[in-house]
Amino acid sequence: MTLASPRGSAKTAAIPWSLTSVAASVLILAMFLILASWLLVPYPIGSAVRGYFYVVDRKIVLPAYTIIDQSDDKNVDYSYNNSLSGSNLELPTKISNCSSVVDDDENARVSVRSSVDKDSLPSESNVELSSSGKDSAESKNSEMLEKPVELPKPPSRATENKADNSSFASTNASDSHSVDSGCDLYNGKWFYDPQGPSYTNNSCPVITQMQNCQGNGRPDKEYENWRWKPSECDLPRFDAKKFLELMRGKTLAFIGDSVARNQMESMLCLLWQVEVPENRGNRRMQRWYFKSTSVMIVRIWSSWLVQETTEIFDFAPEGVTKLHLDAPDDKFMEFIPKIDVIVISSGHWFAKQSVYILNNEIVGGQLWWPDQSRPMKVNNVEAFGISVETVLSSMLTHPNYTGLTIVRTYSPDHYEGGAWNTGGSCTGKEKPLAPGKLVDNGFTNIMHEKQVSGFERAVKKASNKSKLRLMDITRIFGYRHDGHPGPYRSPDPNKITKRGPDGKPPPQDCLHWCMPGPIDTWNELVLETIRREFEGHQYSTS
């Protein structure tokens, strides 16, 4: 006896085939989307800048070995022995004994330590750089590993309490609407804080080796304990949780040269003590992401902040850097619409060989001028002032930029007895200068003056909704000759750290700042500036 099939059995039999087809289609679509995302993430589209900052192709975490931050500098001899680089600065007032500087940013290695075996790493030496600026500019990226490094909290250090060592006034160059309203942050004194820094060289893995003074054998540590106290209010210790909450969902970018990199690493070290960030850096910029608050810390390299080229221009040959003083650097300008806070700084590269172009005409040069019979219209100091006005004006008139720009003023160096390559030294400086002992540096003063003048001219051109604030650290940090690496810029156990029998000092860095050290104060000032802008002009009275 044959059983009849139930009515509609043909349709029922077709159902599994339809579900299989749908499932297969969904799977294929998902694979296509994953593949497309994988292809797009490493090569972000320029117009999708927000995606460029926040998109993730995979979780990238801190490596447990050295990251090399390479340079696009072609004119600096990093052995501190090239007298043709960074010297003979032209000053309109003919000031003598002006300090030249070495901006050795991308020469520095970043010392990355595992919390498990941080003391057993081999010593590192400086990196010899490529002479090709274009090649090295394209190679600014960090190498990554797969596992995050868990780091200990910095130990508290009880130290003998000491009396205040410095008290002085500094000029305030900001306008009445600046961060200084209510309390002048830049008039005060340095005082000794026995609590010490918020981190140590062993609790932060992103310190560039040349700024790791304790790791390089510096014997004294008092320079880490001096903090800045404004006369009319308190400058609170850096509160990492407060910073991340204020910046929730926002991006902070440090734009400039190696001193900007120095400050960016200080910021990372301060924040690292409460949260280990994800490294999302790529070829174009360094990026560190704090997942708890979706805060991104960015660093964009820009030597002069204005457009530069090495191509032939008029009577300037190929290979020599040409600076278009009236055009901002596109390498960072394209990103500013999606950045919420920018800390911008420059100046030290104007000691390097370069040609100055203004209104499509060569108007001057530094360490380059082939025709001595032809007078220069613009020297390096004046070129710096023009560049500041150009960059800030471009930011204040950009139709799509609404962020807060903090201009950190010219960072003083402390080469005594010569420039970096002519026997200048800061060896043996262990505490801030005492009140009234500051020796004015003519070159630093005039660079600061040109920067402030450029700032003030730019303010008058403002047309967008962005805000511009001056963080005037130049004079107060003139007292901190103790805060530089000096001869402790290398982990080499056989390095020379004292003057020789002939009195000649060892090679040293009196421009960048030890970490931890005085530079952490810059980020306390950044936090207070941001807090006042986001919360209103309230401040803690002393």
Q: Distance between CA 43 and CA 34 in Å, rounded?
A: 15
Whether cis (ω within 30° of 0) applies to the bond prior to 337 is no
| Paired sense of beta strands 354-358 and 467-471, if any | unpaired
158 C-beta neighbours (distance < 10 Å), count:
8
Nearest to 376 by CA among 385, 389, 366, 363: 363
Give phi and psi for 532, each to the nearest 5.
Answer: -65, -35
- Give the whole-angstrom CA distance, residue 10 versus residue 537: 77
Q: What are the CA-CA distances from residue 463 to residues 18, 224, 340, 392, 397 (Å)?
A: 61, 42, 17, 12, 5
CA distance linking residue 173 with residue 357, whole number of Å: 28
Distance between CA atoms of 497 and 506, rounded to whole angstroms? 6
Q: How would DSSP label each residue in 69-128?
A: -----SS--TTS--TTSS-S---TT--SSPPP----GGGPEEP---SSSTTSPPP--PPP
Are the beta carbons of 528 and 506 closer than 8 angstroms? no
Could you tell me the two tokens for 352?
A: 């390097």
Residue 256: beta bridge partners? 301
Give me 427's structure tokens.
């060896």
The CA distance from 288 to 281, in Å, is: 7
The CA radius of gyration of the chain, in Å to the nearest whole number, is: 26
d(CA 197, CA 224): 6
* Phi, psi torsion values for 253, nearest 5 degrees: -120, 135
Catalytic residues: 258, 509, 512
Sort strands 322-328 and 306-309 into parallel, antiparallel or unpaired: antiparallel
**Running DSSP on this structure, what letter comes out for residue 193?**
-
Q: How far apart are CA 396 and CA 459, in angstroms?
A: 8
